[in-house]
Each structure stands twice: as C-alpha cells, then as structure tokens.
Amino acid sequence: MVRDRSGARSNLSASLGDYLTGDGNCWSWGWSVNRSYDNEWTGDDSTKVRLRAACDARAYAAIGDDTTVPPMSSSHRSYGSQPPARRRGLWIAVVATVIVAAAGALTAVVVTHGHSSRTKDVAQHTTQHAQGVTTPVTPNSPKAHAPAGPPPKTVRVTSDLNDGDKVGVGQPIVLNFSPSPTDSSAFTKAVTVTVNGHPANGAWYWEKPYADQPIQAHYRERSYWPANASIQVKLPIGGRSAGKGLAYAGALTSVTFTTGDSHVSTVDYASRKLTVTSNGRVVGTFPVSLGAAATPTYNGIKVVMQKGEDAPGTDTLRPNGTVMMSGPGYSNDPVPWSVRITASGEYVHAAGWNTNIGVRDTSNGCTNLKPADGKWFYNFSLLGDVVQYSNTDGDPMNPLDGLGDWNIGWSQWTQGGQLLNH
C-alpha cells in the first residue's frame, strides 16, 4: 500500500518504530538503525532483516554515484570489521536523511509479506547539491515553477448600441476594440446573442473600417432582424484571451436593444423613385434625382447610420436635420432633413434647389428629394433602417463604407473576415 502525504510520517513511525526503539519517533528510528550497524543485527527476527534490506535500497537511491556507503547485510552475519570513521559519519547522515525523506512520503518503504518496494510520488522533483546528495524539491518550491511572464495587455470593448436603443431591422451589432484582438476563438465561444429570448442564428464578422483604426466585430443574421424584437448580447469575456499577450476587459457585460417596425426602402435608378415599406406594406413613393454621370450613386444595400448632425462642440442636433455639406457645388452649405447612409457621404436629403428631381440625375451621389418628401422621410426613419439601390451607374457598395454589412454574402460572412470564426 502507498501512504498519502499527510499520514506518511506518523504511519511509518507507528508501523516500524516498535521494531527499532518502541517510541515511534523518526529520529530515534534513524539512531536505532545506526546503532544496529555498530552492534550488528542479531537474533532470528526476519522482520528486522527485511527492514535492513529496505533501508539499504533507500540509501542507494538517495545518494550520489560518487559516494560509497557500506551495504547493510541481508543475513545475520557481522561485517567482520568496522568501516572508517568518515564512512560511519556519512552513513549516519544518509540514514537520517532516508528516514526524513520517507516520512515526507516522497518515497515510501512498504513492508508486506516479506517484500520491500519503493514508490515514487508522481510530482517528485530533485535538485543536485555540491556534496553529491540529491534532495527533494516539493512542487510548491519556487524552483518547481517557471517565472511568471508579464500580465496580458487589456483590450477595452465598447458598443455602438446602448441599452434601450430602438433601431431598424438592418442595424448590425457593432463592437469596438482597443487594441485589436488577434484571436477570436475565446470571444466567439463565450458571447451569445438572443432574439426574444431564443438563440440568434447569426455570426460575427471582424473588420477594420480604416487601416489606421482598431478592428471591429459586427454581428448579423442571414436576413434582417424581425420587427419589434428584443435582442440581447451577453459578453462574459472579462479576462479571456484576445490573442497572445492580450485579455479582454470585463466592463461591458451585456447590451439589450429593440427593433422597431421593419422599414425597408428601395431606390430604382430606371424609374427614379424611392419606395418605402413598413412591415411589408408600401407607405410612400417619392421621385428622386440620383448621382450625375461624374458622381454616380453606389449600388447595393445601405443602412441609415445618422440623422442630421450635432452643432459643433455640443450634443444638440442642428435644427431641421441640417448637415453642413461640402463638395462639388457645395461649400459648407446647410442641407436640411439629411439622412446619412454611407460613411463616404451619401445622404437621402431634401434638395429644394434641384429642379431635376424625378427627371434627371444631377446630384453628387446623394438621393435628392423634394423638401416635403425629405422631411417626411427624415421623421419616418430609424437608425438601422434599410435602403436598397439597384440599377445605378455607380460601383457596388463597399461593405466597409459605413454599415454595408449586407453586401457581404452569407457564406463569406460566416467565415469571420479578418479573424476567422472557430
């Protein structure tokens, strides 16, 4: 049998001490063994013979190769002559070391049915001293562990959405990181998204909107969110790995928001009309003027990302949804009822100066509406509403130009972008 570490010293003393000194003390046991060496083992007690063999085996296991210790006899005969004093002193020290080591359960000598065995603890580590004697080092010793490395760098996480926000059905979940994670596996395994309490069927896509900015993680389903739904993101990622030497902060733990009615608008270049639906029902059709040949409007799916703009240095919107625009034909001019749909500067806005609305395309890429129509659309729109463009002369919508997530095919999206999903 093998003794556990906590009971080794007392159990060995109780089991063997009576044969040697009768007091169960390990140091007394060591002295008794040495005394037996001086005066020889006598009598016919076979248990003493087995103990002698066990201690002899343990002694050889505990000393270096360059130290010679006279073996204990396995019979009842004497050694014939006393070993030199130097050897005797070393033998006393070695035997004492053997007993103390045995009491620590690093090596247990077990006597059963006339056989001895040596059992090595699986966590045993040793270190070599100058005298050539090998002594144990416990797993809790400083030498048993490699020095700790520097603490991981903290990756801060923020959300474009706040608790309680109400958005359109095309609004992706957008998380921002600083600095950028380099591995998404821990994140994607830990984070969950639910729709009305049920697991969502979406995926994360990692992208950098601009090369000099940290990476973002966007989440969407294969189709738009359902209307009037409650969506929750749980982020139990604090302390988890964000890549080698990186760990997520734990400040942001969840975000809960809702969707409004399903607002999906379509703009057809051929008819020059904007058709607006709410929950699948047409609620408005308006003439438009799109981008001129030199500044065509992009094709694809766009999402409302801003309504109007704040006055400089404040958190207050300019009146009437006004945006100060610059570009060909503009010089920081106020444009009312402006709904932004791309980061590069496309808007759906009122353009009372444009007499070509519904007739010709003369804008700088924006979708021009008559003033009353522009005001209606502004008031109707939610951040996250969808505006789909088809048949324009412009290039396909760049997925990184604002919230162009819906222009990425589902099979590509589920792969994860710049950080692969696992």
pLDDT tens for residues 285-308?
Answer: 999 999 999 999 999 999 999 999
Please state, for a pLDDT cut of 70, what percent of the chain lies above it: 65
Q: What is the dihedral of CA 48, 52, 53, 55, to 10 degrees?
A: 130
What is residue 143's predicted lDDT score, i.e. its pLDDT?
52
Average pLDDT, the chain: 76
Q: What is the pLDDT of residue 241?
A: 97
Geometric angle at alpha carbon 52, from 49 and 55, rounded to 5°: 150
- pLDDT band at 58; cut points 50, 70, 90: very low
Supply φ then ψ for residue 319, to 5 degrees.
-65, 150
Residue 150: cis peptide before it, omega within 30 degrees of 0: no
Give the pair of three-digit tokens for residue 89: 């002193």
CA dist 261 → 4, 121, 154, 291, 359 (Å): 68, 68, 39, 29, 31
146: pLDDT confidence band, cut at 50, 70 and 90?
low
Residue 358 clears pLDDT 80, i.e. is over it = yes
Mean pLDDT, rounded, for 355-374: 97
- Find the range with the poorest average confidence among 32-36, 278-282, 408-412: 32-36
pLDDT band at 332 (very low <50, low <70, confident <90, very high): confident
Residues catalogued as catalytic: 349, 366
Looking at residue 106, its pLDDT comes to 37
pLDDT tier for residue 345 given thresholds of 50, 70 and 90? very high
User: What secondary structure does DSSP assign to 102-157, as a single string?
Assistant: HHTTSEEEEEETTEEEEEE-TT-EEEE-TTS-EEEE-TTSGGGSPPP-PPPEEEEE
pTM: 0.65
CA 345 to CA 325: how far, in whole Å? 9
Higher model confidence: residue 101 or residue 237? 237
pLDDT in tens, 214-271: 999 999 999 999 999 999 999 999 999 999 999 999 999 999 999 999 999 999 999 9
User: How many Å apart are CA 132 and CA 173, to the nearest integer?
Assistant: 66
Give the model confidence (pLDDT) of 303-323 as tens digits: 999 999 999 999 999 999 999
- What is the C-alpha to C-alpha distance for residues 69 and 47, in angstroms, rounded to an integer? 22
- CA–CA separation, 153 vs 156, rounded Å? 10
Of 12 and 324, which is predicted with more confidence?
324
Please check whether residue 33 is in contact with residue 20, taking contact to mean a CB–CB distance below 8 angstroms: yes
Integer Cα distance of 395 and 90 in angstroms = 90
What pLDDT sits at residue 119?
33
The answer to whether 347 touches 289, Cβ cutoff 8 Å, is: no
What does the pLDDT average to over 183-190? 96
